[in-house]
Chains A and B, each alone.
Chain A
Amino acid sequence: MALIDSSYTHRDGETRGINYRRWVIAQATLTACLKVKGMRWVVWSCWIYAFLQGIFLFGFGQLMDPSSTVYAFITENLGLFKPIAPMFQGWAEENPRIAIGMTYNLFFYIFTGAIVSTLTLSLVALGMAIPRLITSDLSSRAITIYSSKAVSRLDYCLGKFGGVMLLLTITWLGPMLATWLMGNLMAPKISFFWHTAPALLHSSMFVLAGMIFLGLMALGVSAMTSSPRTATSIWVGVLLLGVVLSGIGLSSKNEWLQYLSFWFDLELLQRWIFNISGDFKELSAEYPGITEGDIFKQMKLRLDITADNVAVAITCLSLLGGAALLTLYKKVKPE
């Protein structure tokens, strides 16, 4: 093997700052996650799911516009919907805040947190990614290499966190934004955007809060062990434990147990951000007849939430996030 000694040259180029180096770690983390077998399928599923939601919302938007092709198609070809389309359109003219804004808020409440949603797919994606986050660096001792470069432990963790955020952006935040944009595509009026904006704001707030929490949890779990299988098992265990605790809490009337489940805490946070019960109150004030049914009453009862409930949920989420940070602090060390 020939030695090409003369190829060594000194460099005098620029050296970029610490944020660039953190970004490099984030990119590499995302790339490593996307290399996981099956991950691309999960990502594609998220976008297909978002696309289907977008088509649904697009159709809903077009119902408000009598000049649209969709409106014409429905009124001319779908006899059943013939009276519904003008009714929707009239309702939107009369009370757009409720007809558009509230409907969108409800849709996005369901889209961002339902059992079958991009949230669930994101949790699956995280489960698949966890061995590639910190676990692999612990097992290969690559942490030593990171620490010997111009990045600190904090920079490393921030970079890894950025990588998880990027992954969750393409599985959760991105599809949610795409759904909203598709729903607003060819909106009948510019005011349509304004009425759907609160739903976007609520979704973004919830998704971003969820991303930060889940990102921390994923990193914490990934830092717990140097065995990829164990890391994945812990993640699955944490998810199942949440479901079990929530179920036990509900059935045993020991409601406090539910707060130990991050699913339940996230759901409370979501209810608080979307304020669906507030929407129902407004709806019953405007249209008393609609909300008199038992279904609405039960939904309202279930969706009602107090500031104390939210405070406890946020505290529990913060404690779990804190535990994840502590794990990172203890485990992410060169040796």
Chain B
Amino acid sequence: MAGAIIECSGVTKLFGDFAALNNVSLDVSPGTIGLLGPNGAGKSTLMKCLLQLQPISMGVAKLLGRDVGSEGREIRTRVGYAPEQDCLISGMVGCEYVTYCAQLNGLPFQEARQRAHEMLDFVGMGQERYRPVDTYSTGMKQRVKLAQAIVHDPEMVFLDEPTNGLDPKGREQILQLVESLWEKHNISVVLSSHLLQDVDRICGEIIIIARGEVLVKDTLKNLKGRRAGFAELVVEGEHQRVLEILRANECTCELESNGHITVEHGRESLTPVLKFLRDAGVRPIEALPSPNALEEVFLQALSTHGPD
């Protein structure tokens, strides 16, 4: 594939007899890519193999058009990585740490320091940047990890569980930042997460991994298309009436415990459903086409191919 940022061919990673990655072949275009999978599926291992943090046992991988095995250092000048674990350098203050990371990528000191402050502004770090990283809260650690991953202006970043341990507000802020990397700054993002909402919110392309194998690789739009015949409606009161209207129009529906109505309408679009509801004088407060599409696809993929 022309312009692919990740190209894998038969990539296998063995730990003794155990295959953490088993014959993975992928071509991934620039954009926001979500790596999904249960714990131990091989998401982090794939990232680490691509970054040469773990040697590949078999197969060939290319990142940004360069061979991972022989050009690892050159690749890493153009790639950022925020690992799942803390990985901070004890004793350094936040801005010192990010400056140091920039220098490790070859930025001269003055520029490294300037960019470190810019990136710490970008990730929303205030005066905390002058505190030792050892004293940071989980949220601050996630921010500073993101800052060090992008300080050298990479072409793509690997983010391993970037919202782990964050409160809803902090999570929202980090997701906004990550979203803006591709949308506004053209930096491709590979996001590994077990939080489907995060991936659903940000990613344009989804890769589902289990048992070290790629089960699904498709755009989010296509994946949601697979669940196009489903919808979720939120209505005020008159639940029974709505259920009757839907059933009268050949829909299978059910009232959930949260008061929402799930509908299997079997149509390409939700518009006809909304039309006959409107004709019957019902105006839903909210209508979600393909609700939980990613979750459904994920569970379906796992049940079809995945772990027992």
Residues of A within 8 A of B (CB): 1-5, 7-11, 13-18, 20-21, 24-25, 28, 32, 35, 132, 136-137, 139-142, 144-152, 155, 334-335
Contact = CB atoms under 8 A, between A and B. Distances in A.
21 contacts: A1-B173, A3-B122, A8-B119, A9-B118, A10-B153, A13-B108, A15-B105, A15-B106, A21-B104, A21-B105, A21-B106, A25-B104, A28-B100, A136-B89, A141-B83, A144-B83, A144-B85, A144-B87, A148-B51, A148-B81, A150-B106
Given A1-B126, A334-B53, A8 B87 contact: no
A1 B86 CA distance: 22
Interface in B114-129: 115, 118-119, 121-122, 124, 126
A140 B88 contact: yes
A11 B124 contact: no
A35 B134 CA distance: 15
A13 B107 contact: yes
A147 B124 CA distance: 26
B303 to A, nearest CB: 31
Q: Give the most central of B53, B79, B152, B176: most A CB within 10 Å.
A: B53
A149 B101 contact: yes
Given A8-B185, A16-B108, 12 more contacts: A5-B122, A10-B185, A13-B108, A13-B111, A15-B105, A141-B83, A141-B85, A141-B87, A144-B53, A145-B89, A146-B104, A150-B77
What 10 pairs between A and B have smallest CB-CB spacing? A148-B81, A15-B106, A149-B104, A150-B77, A334-B53, A24-B103, A7-B121, A16-B106, A11-B153, A142-B89
A2 B169 CA distance: 12
A169 to B, nearest CB: 21
Given A11-B111, A16-B107, A140 B124 contact: no
A5 B184 contact: yes
A145 B76 contact: no
A140 B90 contact: yes
B121 A4 contact: yes
A2 B48 CA distance: 33
Contacts of B177: 3, 5
B104 A150 contact: yes
Contacts of B126: 1
A7 B118 contact: yes
Nearest to B169: A1
Nearest to A15: B106
A56 B54 CA distance: 57
Contact of B107 (A15, A17, A35, A155): A15
A83 B100 CA distance: 62
A152 B89 CA distance: 17
A136 B53 contact: no
Interface in B170-187: 173, 176-177, 180, 184-185
A141 B88 CA distance: 7
Nearest to A5: B180
Interface of B: 48, 51-54, 72-74, 76-77, 79-81, 83, 85-91, 100-101, 103-108, 111, 115, 118-119, 121-122, 124, 126, 148, 150, 152-153, 173, 176-177, 180, 184-185
B265 to A, nearest CB: 39
A140 B173 CA distance: 26
A44 to B, nearest CB: 21
Nearest to B153: A11
A147 to B, nearest CB: 5
B101 A141 contact: no
A144 B54 CA distance: 10
Nearest to B117: A7
B277 to A, nearest CB: 39
A149 B90 contact: no
Nearest to A334: B53
B185 A148 contact: no
B88 A142 contact: yes
Given A5-B184, A140-B90, A150-B76, A20 B121 contact: no
Contacts of A151: 73, 104
A197 to B, nearest CB: 38
A150 B53 contact: no
A151 B91 CA distance: 21
A147 B53 contact: yes
A265 to B, nearest CB: 34
B153 A20 contact: no
Contact of B86 (A5, A11, A17, A141): A141
Nearest to B174: A3
A5 B89 CA distance: 26
B176 A334 contact: no
Contacts of A1: 124, 126, 173
Contacts of A5: 122, 176-177, 180, 184
Taking each of A2, A16, A137, A139, which has the highest tally of chain B beta carbons within 10 Å of its own beta carbon?
A16
B83 A145 contact: yes
Nearest to A155: B73
A114 B85 CA distance: 47
Contacts of B90: 136, 139-140, 142
Nearest to B111: A13
A68 B107 CA distance: 54
A140 B97 CA distance: 13
A191 to B, nearest CB: 45
Contacts of A137: 89
A69 to B, nearest CB: 47
Given A8-B118, A145-B83, A14 B124 contact: no
